[in-house]
Amino acid sequence: MSAELGGDLTASVRYLVAQALELALDETTSAQLQDTQRRLSEPLRVAIAGRVKAGKSTLLNALVGEELAPTDAGECTRLVTWYVGGNSPRVAVHHRDGRVEQRPYRRATGALTVDLGVPVDDVDHLEVTWPSSRLSDVTLIDTPGIGSLSAETSLRATALLPGDDERTATVDAVLYLLRHAHADDIRFLDAFHDDEFGRGTPVNAVGVLSRADEIGSLRLDALDVAARVAARYRSDRRIRKLCPLVVPVAGLVGHAAMTLRQNEYQVLARLADLPRERLDRLLLTADRFLDTQVPVPRRERAYILDRLGLFGVRDSLRAIEAGEARSAAELAARLNRVSGLDDLREILLRQFTERSRLLRARSALTAVRAVIRRGGCAEPGRLETIVEEVTSSAHEFREIQLLNDLRAGAVTVPESHREEAERLLGATGFGIAARLGLPPGAADGVISRAALGQLGFWQTLAGSPGTSRQLRVACWDIVRTVEGIIACAERP
């Protein structure tokens, strides 16, 4: 049984791109369409964006599980950097004049240090190829901070977005790191959705309440405080329309969890052996942690504080003292869970990975339409007709538009069934079981019964005399989704 609805969208988009390529009038158009063609087979491109010091590079390192991206204020943090999966490590500098050059790099301890060979202003972006299973299905793109004091640095991030000059988005989806909802944040997210294929549609954006441990003043309940703040963001109409999923994540703790070593655990265990009263005084502030005289050398404490932050140190010591983390592996698992990284990965799977086919198709359609409008192809009318045929026959696009309308309040369904409607449209996962609210691996018979029950309800609501025209249209869209689920369930 297919785990995902639909199957013809990518083939239809491939046909469209091939037709446009045959009708290209210049080399620039041909190159752009060839890139669009390749993108349909490449891993999903996900940008990590946000304001300066939001914790973008730290989060990227946590997601990859290795310290690759520099987190200091070096020249490479001013550049857009692509992290791509590959068989062997290498770093390429993409120059503004189009040249691509392999460059030497160092990684003695910590993040990569790249010898650019040219001034930063001459570089378009870096491409780091790294053998990591976490980069097999997704290309992560680290961006400079929005709102930087350097206008040029900020523009490097916004250049990934659609533009008034018919520029198409370089990325398929975005992880946007929020601290406070600044006007720059809203403008970035709004621009990212500025296209015909789901204007304002939130399917390709997830918000991350970054450095979540700091929001709760580094107390042991800091992540609970951050979760309440994230919930407020999710209820904010400005943010919900553009980025309805906001998850709190302590990136530094998550990165430490992915890379925790036995010698680091041993330092923490020695600290946890201190008398409770002495330990409490030690953990009052970061300065106290470093300056108080204890049997563990200051150098080791400074290192562990840098790795985990004060919140991570406090949580680790409490867990070790309580016998909840008896080894480095157990502590790493706990920190991974506490940091919110597990929740973020689950959301990325639901929101991006399972939708990768749809998101890549959406990017390709946007690129082809931009080429047509620029006059880059012969027979633009015929190509526009094919675009319309693809979009009108792709129920996936109607699903995400309806999902956005439901979340924005433009379409209302009975409150007792609103969450159910959103789930059927793919809000909590693109797979069949997730849409029906069933556990993964549910039996075919269970899926069929659940789907038939949903079909009956939405058909009845659509046919009710008291149902408004707007709701009736929404119901029939949901019915079409459920019919697709049933068709998939019946496949051998």
pLDDT at site 78:
80
Task: Look at residue 424 in the predicted model and tell me its pLDDT.
Answer: 92
CA 16 from centre of chain:
28
- pLDDT tens readout for residues 302-331: 999 999 999 999 999 999 999 999 999 999
Give yes or no for residue 69 having a pLDDT over 60: yes
On the question of pLDDT at 150 being above 90, the answer is: no
Residue 153 has a pLDDT of 60
Contacts of 369 (CB under 8 A, 6+ apart): 196, 384, 387
Using the predicted structure, report yes or no on whether residue 449 has a pLDDT greater than 80. Answer: yes
What lies within 8 Å, CB to CB, of 338 at 6+ separation is: 223, 250, 253, 315
Residue 72 pLDDT: 66
Residue type, position 10, single letter: T
Nearest to 450 by CA among 492, 420, 471: 420
434/28 Cα distance (integer angstroms): 42
What is the pLDDT, as a whole number, of residue 3?
45
pLDDT at 9 over 60: yes
As a whole number, mean pLDDT of residues 345-369 equals 83
**250 alpha carbon, distance to own chain's centre:** 15
Tell me 251's DSSP state.
H
Higher pLDDT, 191 or 93: 93
The percent of residues above 70 in pLDDT, for the chain, comes to: 86
Domain boundaries, the chain: 1-54+149-250+340-390, 259-327, 411-489
Residue 443: predicted pLDDT: 87
H-helix segments, 23-171? 27-39, 56-64, 151-158
Q: Which has the closest alpha carbon to 363: 217, 186, 198?
A: 198
Distance CA 489, CA 492 (A): 8
Q: Residue 165 above 50 pLDDT?
A: no
In this structure, what token pair is assigned to residue 13? 């988009």
What is the Cα–Cα distance from 426 to 436, expressed in whole angstroms? Answer: 9
- When computed from its CA atoms, the radius of gyration of the chain, rounded to whole angstroms, is 25
Closest to 85 measured CA to CA, from 45, 57, 31, 116 = 45
Mean pLDDT estimate for the chain: 84
Mean pLDDT of 210-214: 84
3-state secondary structure 290-325: HHCCCCCCHHHHHHHHHHHHHHHHHHHHHHHHCCCC
- The confidence score (pLDDT) of residue 336 equals 92
Return the HEC string of 141-195: EECCCECCCCHHHHHHHHCCCCCCCCCCCCCCEEEEEECCCCHHHHHHHHHHCCC
How much is the pTM? 0.78
Model confidence at 159: pLDDT above 90: no
Per-residue 3-state assignment (H helix, E strand, C coil) for 351-392: HHHCCHHHHHHHHHHHHHHHHHHHCCECCHHHHHHHHHHHHH
Average pLDDT over residues 207-224: 81
Please give the share of the chain, as a percent, with pLDDT higher than 90: 37
Evaluate if residue 49 carries a pLDDT over 70. Answer: yes
Please report the pLDDT score of residue 198 as a whole number: 44
Average pLDDT for 401-408: 78
CA nearest 453: which of 438, 468, 466, 436? Answer: 436
Residues 41-55 have a mean pLDDT of 86
Closest by Cα among 266, 265, 261, 295 to 278: 295
At 239, list the tokens: 């943010």
Least confident of 3-12, 184-193, 268-277, 280-289: 184-193
CA 282 to chain centre: 37
- The SS3 of residue 38 is helix
Q: What's the pLDDT score for residue 272?
A: 93
pLDDT at 1 over 80: no
Residue 276 half-sphere exposure toward CB, CA atoms < 13 A: 3
User: What is the reported pLDDT for 113?
Assistant: 86
